[in-house]
Each structure stands twice: as structure tokens, then as C-alpha cells.
Amino acid sequence: MRRLAARDERWPLRDAFVIARGVKTEAHVVVAEITDGQHVGRGEAVPYARYGEDVDGVLAEIVAMRGAIETGAGRHLLQGLMPAGAARNALDCALWDLEAKQAGVRAWTLAGRDRLDPVKTCFTLSLDTPDAMAAVARANARRPMLKLKIGGPDDLDRIEAVRQAAPRTRLIVDANEGLTFADLTRLAPDLARLDVQLVEQPLPAGEDGALEGWASPVPLCADESLHTRAELAACARRYAYVNIKLDKAGGLSEALATAAEARALGLELMVGCMVGTSLAMAPAMIVAQGARVVDLDGPLLLARDREPGLPISGSLIEAPPPELWG
């Protein structure tokens, strides 16, 4: 018979991580474990206050599913038993991991893939002074892509400083809902001049209808506006890209379905993460196959990662070892 356990863990960050909404000094994650007595499947999730989540609430959601999980509920049934979010993500990924171990195959085989190719992740610069952000950009200028956080409409100097410090790298700007439409239209020509490749979630979710019909000189990406397939039709009218995160989608199952439907609608894919360990990034590697932009740099922001973690060399992430996940 199966057994379900859940716990929270704290993983200190290498440096404080600052975005428009606040400061993080650690990754506070939730881990679900499901065992059949021989194999153990694990999944990691990051509760996110922006979506009304906290660690205690997510743990309670997982524990509430103990009866269903221990009596055999699988990942397909799980989709109808829980809403999208961090709790379902932890359980869904644990079920994928358990099923792969029971079948003696890798999780990507269960997902219909013959192999898992390495991906190159962007590296995130948290919000700071222009000089401090430029220093971090200069130290990481050889990475293929940098993503910088901005806090509002007056941050052009930060973007200018980063571009000067890293003139050859691809650059993404993440506004975390910090702009108005007027701010965006004013900033957009300068962003194009600075060869910014993508602007992530410029307007607050729910207020981005203004983007419909506007020809942005820089491609726009939905993040907070996109959780599951339910938001894809609206996003396709407003954005060129969507950022799929397992914690928003509620697990690998919905993330894969969302990616397939997004591609069918002509949207480009970005696959992102909350700040967590390699255990949270490993299942997202499957969704990231073929994505135009990959942002799975959570382990690079930690003071230490799990052992074993994802094999990461510079910005190149290799397939997870089976001891980690899948």
C-alpha cells in the first residue's frame, strides 16, 4: 500500500533576491513523497504569496489528499481532485517520479520522448542599483541570456547599465506586473534600441486587455496572466510568448498539456520556475524541450543545492540523474 508524506524545507540563497514585490533570502519549499514500499517518488513545489499560497496551506492541501493517494489515485485522476497550484504540483511530480521508477523507465519516456536534451537557461539578475546590476551582469556576460528584474517605469537606467556591461548576451526584462500601459508604450522604443529580446509580464494580470491590438516593438510574454490552458486564448490575443511554470500549472501533467495547446495557438514558449532546488527544476526540463526561452536557474541562486542535483555547467543543464527525479 502507498504512503504519502509531506514536509517543508528551507534552502538559503547565495544573495538576497529582489523583485518588484519584495525580497527573498531563502527558498522555502514543500516536498511530497509517495512510496509503495519499494520505490519513492518525490515532487517539490514553491508556495507563492502572489497567488494566495503559503507553506502551511500547501502542506494542508497535500495532507488532505492522503486518502485518495494512498488508495491508488494517479496523476490523471489528480487533475480533477485538486485545483492548479503548488500543492498539486508537488503531488503530480511525485506521481510521475514514482510511476517512472515502478516502470523502470525515465519520466520523459512516459511523456512520449525518446531522450531529454540539455537546455541553456537564462540567469536572473535581481533588482538593485544600476551599478550593482551592471557588476553582476559583467560577471555573467558570457552567459547566453540574462534576465533582469525591474521595479517600475523609471528603471531604464538599470537596463542601460546591464546592456553596457553585457553587450553581447541576449537580454530579457521582467517587470513582474510593475508597469502601466502608458509606461510600456513609452519604454518600448528604448527597449528595442537596447536589443531586449522579450518583456515578461509588463502589466498586472487582469489589466492586460490593453495589449490587444497593440504592435509592440519588443515581444511580450505572459507570466502571471498564464496558469493553465484556461487562460491561453486570452494570452494569444495579447502576447507572443507564455511562461509555463509547474507551480502555476499544478504539475507536469497540466504544464505539458498547456505547452502543446500554446504551440497549436502559435505562441512561443518560455519555461520558468520559482526559486527552488534541482528537484523542482527536473520535471520542468521535460516541458523545456524545444522551448524558445528556458529560465530554470533556481539552483544557481542557492547557497547549496540538493545532492545529487541537476548537472549544470555554466548555463547548460543536463538531464537529471534518476536519484534526483524521474
Residues annotated as catalytic are 149, 245
Output the CA angle 303-305-308, nearest 5 degrees.
Answer: 155
Q: Which three cell numbers stand for residue 64?
A: 488532505
Q: Measure the CA–CA gap between 45 and 88, rounded to whole angstroms.
A: 9
Q: Measure the CA–CA gap between 306 and 310, rounded to whole angstroms.
A: 8
Q: Which three cell numbers stand for residue 224?
A: 502571471
3-class SS of residue 27: strand
Residue 95 CA, chain-centre distance (Å), reads 20
3-class SS of residue 22: strand
Beta-bridge partner residues of 4: 34
Taking residue 48's Cβ as centre, other Cβ atoms within 10 Å add up to 17
Beta-bridge partner residues of 155: none
